[in-house]
Chains A and B, each alone.
Chain A
Amino acid sequence: MLNRLFTNQLQLGLAQALAAAVVAYAVVLLARRRKIHVESEAAVALVRGLVQIIAVGSVLVMMLQAPRWTGAFLLVAMIVAAGATSARRAKGVPGAFRVSTCSIACGAGSVIAIMTWLGVIDTAITALIPVGSMLIANAMNTNGLALNRFRSDVLAHVGEIETALALGADPRPSVAPYVQASFEASLIPAIDSLRSLGIVWIPGLMAGMLLSGSRPVYAAIYQFVVLAMIFGASGLTSLVSTLLIRTHAFTTAEQLLLRPGISQAKVRD
């Protein structure tokens, strides 16, 4: 229906974006009826997402003319932005931004670097940025899940952790069960994506390759390659994140920082 109303591609795109946003927001309003309030957060996220993706599209258009190495700068900026977004999911976790940014840089950054060096990811900006951003975005989600789970598990077991500390235990093994649970929980989406590949869903990248005329078998194989890279980047991010946060959860005097109503900033008062 929309393609009959709009002949200009840009106008059609905006109309399609609006239609998709309306559907997404309808779900938010449905949730509101069940007293789940995410209206403002969802509205901001939808508008922000649209503005950001248009901005990135515009930057990509400009960067098509730029030298290939400029893609690295864009990826670094994406990693920092992903660190900031992910850290917001871990309110109260000491050093969440630093931990998130370092973890995503280690996880997604190293997989992008190795795969680009091996020639799996093309260095052309039109390939490097979209594939790189997929790895970074998934690493960000995994990191957010890991930190969020770690935070809630630790807050639910403050008594047990502090009892172990009071008995002279090393802080690291005191939180080891929660580190393990966070790592496992954060990887569930990436594992499920790989498991259900082709059966439950045909990812966008493969669909895009098919639409642009690639051979279906190569498109399918490359989609697996991307998902395997996502799994690697997410797994490494979560591993680094949970290891770093294990240290950040305690002071140098081996006191638990992650406690209800306590944060580093407050204690310094």
Chain B
Amino acid sequence: MRSAPHVLTAEHLSRSVGGLKLVDDISMQVRAGEVLAVVGPSGSGKSSFLRLLNRLDEPTSGTVFFEDIDYRQIPPRELRRKVGMVTQRPFLFPGSVFQNVSFGPQQRGEVFSEARAEELLTRVGLGGYVSRDVANLSGGEAQRVSLARALANSPIVLLLDEPTSALDEQAKAEVESLIHEIIRETHLTCIVVTHDMAQAARLATRVMMLEKGRATRIGTLTEVLHA
């Protein structure tokens, strides 16, 4: 059986700020439909690494290939549409849930119907929320809207930067199980940053361990833990 093609390949990816190496010579590949968890202690460069993958930051050296194309050849907006991101805090824009969910498609001048928004919101467990004001949402609900907003762009790869770490225990479990469900149903390629090994084990097929900006281990959770 042929293995799935590589969707994202990082080659000797580094980023330094003020002489400090945030990401240090990381090379890795992610196949279509794979879920990679990036783990490591605070300050190990997990979020900095993730920000390089959708080019929110510029690498100091090295590059990323998205579907075998050097991502510097892809217009940034097109790249970010295809490589979606959900951050630790949802950062919803003031207005309605619909305005938030339709934000991405509207940037490209696409018509995004309320029915399509409702469909996405139902998928994240927020059916009937389309006209609600985001100011009245709980933390867990806001993070679900943030997830629906990222999915509205129909990304090929989804980057999740500690998506549950700002939530209370109950919301954390709910959002994590939702992410798990979406990944399983859509076979979406995901890179999840987490400091929680148990969460990495539940969500990911492979794990990459970062320490001081360097990828020290990469493989299955067992391989990484027993290396």
Contacts and interface: CB of A to CB of B under 8 A. Distances in A.
A153 interface: no
Interface stretch (B72-80, B122-130, B214-222): B72-80
Contact of B16 (A160, A162, A255, A269): A269
Interface in A249-269: 251, 253-256, 261-262, 266-267, 269
A36 to B, nearest CB: 30
Interface string B88-99: 010101000000
Contacts of B57: 255
A269 B76 contact: no
B80 A168 contact: yes
Interface centre among A162, A163, A266 (most CB of B within 10 A): A163
Interface stretch (B26-34, B37-45, B103-111, B175-183): B103-111
A23 B77 CA distance: 56
B89 A159 contact: yes
Contacts, number: 71
Contacts of B149: 167
A168 B153 contact: yes
Contact of B76 (A163, A254, A261): A254
A169 B104 CA distance: 7
A169 B19 contact: no
Interface residues of B, number: 29
Interface in B14-63: 16-19, 54-58, 60
A169 B57 CA distance: 15
Contacts of A267: 17, 58, 60
Contacts of A166: 54, 56, 80, 84-85, 87
B206 interface: no
B81 interface: yes
Contacts of B157: none
A164 interface: yes
B103 A164 contact: yes
A254 B77 contact: yes
Contacts of A165: 56, 76, 80
A163 B91 CA distance: 7
A170 interface: yes
Given A168-B107, A269-B18, A160 B56 contact: no
A269 B87 CA distance: 27
A204 B19 CA distance: 52
A169 B76 CA distance: 9
B132 to A, nearest CB: 19
Nearest to A158: B91
B70 to A, nearest CB: 13
Contacts of A253: 55, 58, 72, 76
Contacts of B91: 159-160, 162-163
A215 to B, nearest CB: 54
A207 B138 CA distance: 60
Given A164-B93, A262-B17, A266-B18, A170 B77 contact: yes
A64 B75 CA distance: 58
B203 interface: no
A135 B152 CA distance: 50
A215 B139 CA distance: 68
B10 interface: no
Contacts of A162: 56, 87, 91
Contacts of B204: none
A5 to B, nearest CB: 56
A153 B92 CA distance: 17
Contact of A167 (B16, B18, B78, B150): B150
A160 to B, nearest CB: 5
A168 B82 CA distance: 9
A251 to B, nearest CB: 6
Interface of A: 159-160, 162-170, 251, 253-256, 261-262, 266-267, 269
Given A166-B84, A169-B107, 4 more contacts: A162-B87, A168-B78, A168-B81, A255-B76
12 contacts: A163-B91, A165-B56, A166-B54, A166-B84, A167-B81, A168-B80, A169-B104, A170-B77, A170-B107, A253-B58, A255-B56, A269-B19
